[in-house]
Amino acid sequence: MTEADFLQLPDLAARSLGGAVVFANDEFFASRENLISPGAPDFDPSEFGHKGKVYDGWETRRRREPGHDFAVVRLGVPGVVEGVVIDTAWFTGNYPPFASVDGVDLVGYPTDQELLDAPWEPVLERVALKGDTANAFAVNDDRRWTHLRLNIFPDGGVARFRVHGHARPDPAFLTGTIDLAALENGGDVVACSNGFYSSPRNIIGLGRSRHMGEGWENARRRDDGNDYVVIRLAGQGCVDHVEIDTSYFVGNAPGAARLSGIPNEDAMSDESSWAELVPRTALLPDCRHRFRVDSPTPVEFVRLDVYPDGGIARLRVSGRLT
């Protein structure tokens, strides 16, 4: 997969998806947790703390004995990695010249010691890094990982670690009525008309949005069309009910919305094969709308049309996998 392609995939390590940096052998200058902070790293040239220059990243001390430093990330959702970004933003005289990434697929909730003793496998062989650069590397490996270990050689600072890939949640928890669209269950956005202000992927994220920026907001439409988003569900399923949430979109909620679905990818291009799940319905601003769905047809893709444009906080598609 090309860099341009894998950067479009979700970041499985993101804090917003439940990712965490659970261990680092050293974090003397700057905390490991910064590795998965949202957004671009900050830098204030005048900011110094008790231990030295303050960095928005993970930074170890200058190593005086053999070995190398490492940090362990628990993915928010286990998954297959298509590419990683090892971003050394603002680290110039102190970036690690080399890095590698290992992975492991563990059951349950491993302790630090269990992580240290785990059977780590190479995911990305040792690569050279540039300083103050978002170093992106494609990964060609279809194994599923729950944890990744970022190794830096020999020491230094990394601002962000992004892990782009496909979610592969544990099927044992995909039983009964679940949110078939949720990113954590394996749903993902596959097409969108316009994500000018914020990503359409936000609408299938964890929990409720806390402000307008945590939803999907397109630009004001100046033609006769309408905006839409297409989601590949966790698998083919029968939809029971739907939530279309316009929370925090007060002056810019859609006037109306419609939800339709198709049973598989082959039907995507045939307009007539899209079955109506929720007919075109007027929406209120800043409101969670719930609709019962009365359709026996299983669907694998849903399309949310908004008329003519406007923001959506969340889309929940509750149903059972077939």
The residues with which 150 forms a beta bridge, in sequence order, are 71, 101
Gyration radius (Cα) of the chain, Å = 22
Helix (H, G, I), strand (E, B) or coil at 311: coil
We find the least distance from the C-beta atom of residue 88 to ligand 1AL, in angstroms, to be 12
- Residue 155 or residue 217: which is nearer to ligand 1AL going by CB? 155
Residue number of the CB atom closest to ligand 1AL:
52
- Residue 29 or residue 216: which is nearer to ligand 1AL going by CB? 29
Burial 142-163 (b: 16+ CB within 10 A, else e): eebbbbbbbbbbbbbbbbbbbb
User: In angstroms, rounded to a whole number, what is the distance separating the alpha carbons of residues 228 and 211?
Assistant: 21
We find the least distance from the C-beta atom of residue 87 to ligand 1AL, in angstroms, to be 16
The pair of structure tokens assigned to 232 is 């590949």
Burial 120-141 (b: 16+ CB within 10 A, else e): beebbeeeebebeebbbbebee
We find the least distance from the C-beta atom of residue 36 to ligand 1AL, in angstroms, to be 19
User: In angstroms, rounded to a whole number, what is the distance separating the alpha carbons of residues 11 and 85?
Assistant: 10
Compute φ and ψ for 273, nearest 5 degrees.
-90, -5
We find the least distance from the C-beta atom of residue 50 to ligand 1AL, in angstroms, to be 11
- Residue 158 or residue 262: which is nearer to ligand 1AL going by CB? 158
| Interface residues toward ligand 1AL, by CB under 6 A | 29, 52-53, 55, 59, 62, 94
We find the least distance from the C-beta atom of residue 303 to ligand 1AL, in angstroms, to be 49
- Residue 62 or residue 208: which is nearer to ligand 1AL going by CB? 62
- Residue 49 or residue 225: which is nearer to ligand 1AL going by CB? 49
- Residue 28 or residue 291: which is nearer to ligand 1AL going by CB? 28
We find the least distance from the C-beta atom of residue 160 to ligand 1AL, in angstroms, to be 16
| CB neighbour list of residue 170: distance below 8 Å, 6 or more residues apart | 78
- Residue 105 or residue 132: which is nearer to ligand 1AL going by CB? 132
We find the least distance from the C-beta atom of residue 85 to ligand 1AL, in angstroms, to be 21
User: In angstroms, rounded to a whole number, what is the distance separating the alpha carbons of residues 84 and 82?
Assistant: 7
The secondary structure of the chain in percent helix, strand, coil, rounded to multiples of 5, reads 10, 45, 45
